[in-house]
Structure 1
């Protein structure tokens, strides 16, 4: 006796082209994520006076990164809601066009101020596109294929983080600094054409009434919170009012957002989602792993280039093992989940990430470079077994018609965690480095002493300008002080990663979560089928 196949929830025409759709979404993801990492290797060139660069100051350079991060993180949640309400394909296409135009304008910037402004506009485009990619995946793949598709999606994020510095290094060596932005334009054009042809439209069939107050509170809260975190890291002092003032405002606004959302009939975010242990634990794990991993990207580049003397291109190549491991293992993480369960897979991945950080605590100025390659492979393998299962857990615990909001929450926690990691771990790195160099810099004039103590790069820059080779005496102590500071930050990252492992082990499900039927939690399969069929019909 044969059993009839389960009816397909996704229309046949969309089902047939699902992998081509995924390729276009990965292309969008690559260009959005790659852009943030590609800029890092262009910093020195942009700081060079015109006509080679823009003559940007250290503060200008920081805000050329921070303006993108601030706008991106602040608008992620709102953009996910807009996609659910007005159409995810529309949000994706609009975001990509805005991103492409802003990239072109960034490449032609005539001053640091223009670059900062255009980078903020790029953040608007990225915020519109990013949540839509994951939401569309949830609407074009059947549930049994979603873990594999999300694994490829997660692997693409790791690949973009790694190939960014390589691409940037090649472009800077052969072209002008603006080429790191101009490279986005042809990719965006190809992606937009492919998306217009292949990607189906989908939206929430019953979005409810608009919630302008909730949306405004979420934007104010996220922007103020991220700004305060960034400012604290920039000042290396979270007790300064410029840091804690905006942070407090952000916390208050987000608290008001939660209270307001609980009291209205059609909230922008159904806060009862967070009563779901799986949903809450998963977003916490996402935030924790990006908090820790942004630390290695922060100090790893300086260790490789400044301490070890490798070029920007070589530094990018040394990041490839981390990306290759993610690319290989992320799409296959579902097989480990099927065998061991979500909790064991994610917790094991976090432990591997922690082991990678343990390796960083013993690096010296002469450690064989193959050790870095091994550490990259270990950490990439760990991350590949964390991101796909927790992302599947987040999206699987929500109804399909709320995929945009779920994706936005996932990406928001990731961005906030990453920003916290850069700010907090960066502040620790700066403070420990400054303390380690305080005795060595006592013979310098006071103005130079303060400047040289800011960072390893600042010390080396001043060492180059000192007459009669006097700066050579600063190089070895500077390297030693930086390595010690790196060890401290890596040790903190070990502890943070292990906290994430405990959260995953005790709070994530032993097996894959069952799909939710409607806002707020589980329901009858028939209800979910009707909701999903209605969402698919919008396509």
Structure 2
């Protein structure tokens, strides 16, 4: 039987003063802004890493996905940890780990070190993210005040995600590539001090044992599938290793679900998915995150390698997405009580789908105009989806499940991000490689051509070795092959989010189910 933990901290019903609640919200939102920023801040430096560390396309995917992998697969365990040990302390532990790992990443001298440091940062985020959302759920009473707070929290996450490349671009224009991580050091230290003074602690009224077996199974399942998706273009989709990894991932996922049903203290109590708003919200934000982060992964490379922008210019051209999200996040918080989760989330996913379609039809000779339209649609869609689903997920849960329920939101965002980068990056890589196969052997030496297939950045660097017109022509061919590869990658994002918009209309709770567009119901005992 689960033990009962009596916790003395104030609940919303006891009433913290509004100023204190506001300060608590500010601390967790600034922390989430930095966490969201680090989800994408490295994207603008990826082309630089091709030259500095000799990273291939698959290694670039691992640099991005090691973060999302550890965060997405551990966040459920960390959410249950926060419920049991105290949300404030787990939040502070995560912020400390995130800050230290950021310093290690800044001075990484190899791809392997950077991948490991990014993975440690992902563990830090897994500790931070569900704890912050659970803190908000504990501090703010249900209704308009909590909806507004979660809208601000969602905007902080989304804005950090979208301005990451902008900040990274500015840093790269003035300092070395590792500097993009050092911005976390002063903010992390200040956040720890502020959290110690301003963030109240809380625990779930009922808590059982931890579930390390569930955590191990979830990490192994997600890692197996992502490895297969990322390595598929290099090893072949039907190679024994890739097929074995897909099979292992499926079996491990089945084992994880079976264990969660069987154990007395599951990391992920499957009963929480009886809440319709939570189940629908997790699915929809996963699909939205797939498109958002996958699209940014592709777009940053397009801006730098094809359009020729430097990192600072690239960051500025992603700015419209950040501005659109800044408007759309709070707007979604206002619209959700009036229109419901169903309409707002469907609209957000439709906007994300439109953004991907615009980018999928870009030609190698096109400039920034079409991309500008896509960036505005991308930011607006992300703001709608992240805000309304986060509010629905937290609003559908009793206090006993705030930590783990909030963790499902975080896990969905990170698993969507990891899958988006893996799938879209692999589709891009496969088409790009096939496009370079058409290059005449007499035009480019075979050994040079094979190296150029690692990434467009490598191809552009190698083209400098070719004489005169041969180098210029090869650059044009490589860029055309990359743009051709963007089409299937972005059409995948468009298809996923179009399906998501339809699922939102079918699965999300109707307007009027509850004032905030969510569904409250009692847990089965």
> TM-score w.r.t. structure 2 length?
0.90
Identify the residue that residue 32 of structure 2 maps to in structure 1: 29
2:159 aligned with 1:163, yes or no? no
For residues 32-66 of structure 1, the C-alpha deviation after alignment (integer angstroms, 9 at most, x for no partner) is: 22123222233344454xxxx55666665544333
Give the direction of change, closer, same or farther, for the CA distance of 1:432–1:112 in structure 2 (3 Å limit): closer
Give the direction of change, closer, same or farther, for the CA distance of 1:517–1:434 in structure 2 (3 Å limit): same
Aligned equivalents of 2:371, 2:468: Cα separation in 1: 36
For residues 174-229 of structure 1, the C-alpha deviation after alignment (integer angstroms, 9 at most, x for no partner) is: 22333222221001011111111111001111112443433333333333334444
2:182 aligned with 1:188, yes or no? no
For residues 85-120 of structure 1, the C-alpha deviation after alignment (integer angstroms, 9 at most, x for no partner) is: 101111110011111112222323344443333332
Contact conserved, 2:210 with 2:267, CA < 8 A, in 1? yes
Identify the residue that residue 396 of structure 1 maps to in structure 2: 395
2:18 aligned with 1:19, yes or no? no
Contact conserved, 2:69 with 2:418, CA < 8 A, in 1? no
Identify the residue that residue 523 of structure 2 maps to in structure 1: 518
Aligned equivalents of 1:383, 1:58: Cα separation in 2: 26
Q: CA deviation at 1:122?
A: 1.9
SS in 1 for 2:16: helix
RMSD: 2.4
Of residues 428-437 and 53-62 in structure 1, the stretch that sits farther from structure 2 once superposed is 53-62
Aligned equivalents of 2:524, 2:192: Cα separation in 1: 32
Count matched residues.
509
Give the unaligned 5+ runs of structure 2: 1-10, 512-516
Identify the residue that residue 490 of structure 1 maps to in structure 2: 490
SS in 2 for 1:143: coil
Aligned equivalents of 2:245, 2:408: Cα separation in 1: 21
Of residues 27-36 and 187-196 in structure 1, the stretch that sits farther from structure 2 once superposed is 27-36
Aligned equivalents of 1:15, 1:236: Cα separation in 2: 57
Identify the residue that residue 278 of structure 1 maps to in structure 2: 277
Give the direction of change, closer, same or farther, for the CA distance of 1:302–1:113 in structure 2 (3 Å limit): closer
Contact conserved, 1:353 with 1:497, CA < 8 A, in 2? yes
Equivalence map 1:7-156=2 (5 Å):
9-13=12-16, 15-48=18-51, 53=52, 61-144=60-143, 145-156=145-156
Give the direction of change, closer, same or farther, for the CA distance of 1:441–1:282 in structure 2 (3 Å limit): farther
Aligned equivalents of 1:294, 1:450: Cα separation in 2: 28
Aligned equivalents of 1:107, 1:217: Cα separation in 2: 31
Identify the residue that residue 311 of structure 1 maps to in structure 2: 310
Give the unaligned 5+ runs of structure 1: 1-7, 521-539
For residues 106-159 of structure 1, the C-alpha deviation after alignment (integer angstroms, 9 at most, x for no partner) is: 323344443333332222212111211111111111111222222212212221
SS in 2 for 1:17: helix
Identify the residue that residue 253 of structure 2 maps to in structure 1: 254
Identify the residue that residue 3 of structure 2 maps to in structure 1: none
Give the direction of change, closer, same or farther, for the CA distance of 1:231–1:409 in structure 2 (3 Å limit): farther
Give the direction of change, closer, same or farther, for the CA distance of 1:498–1:46 in structure 2 (3 Å limit): closer
Identify the residue that residue 535 of structure 1 maps to in structure 2: none
Contact conserved, 2:76 with 2:268, CA < 8 A, in 1? no
Aligned equivalents of 1:178, 1:436: Cα separation in 2: 33
Aligned equivalents of 2:78, 2:470: Cα separation in 1: 54
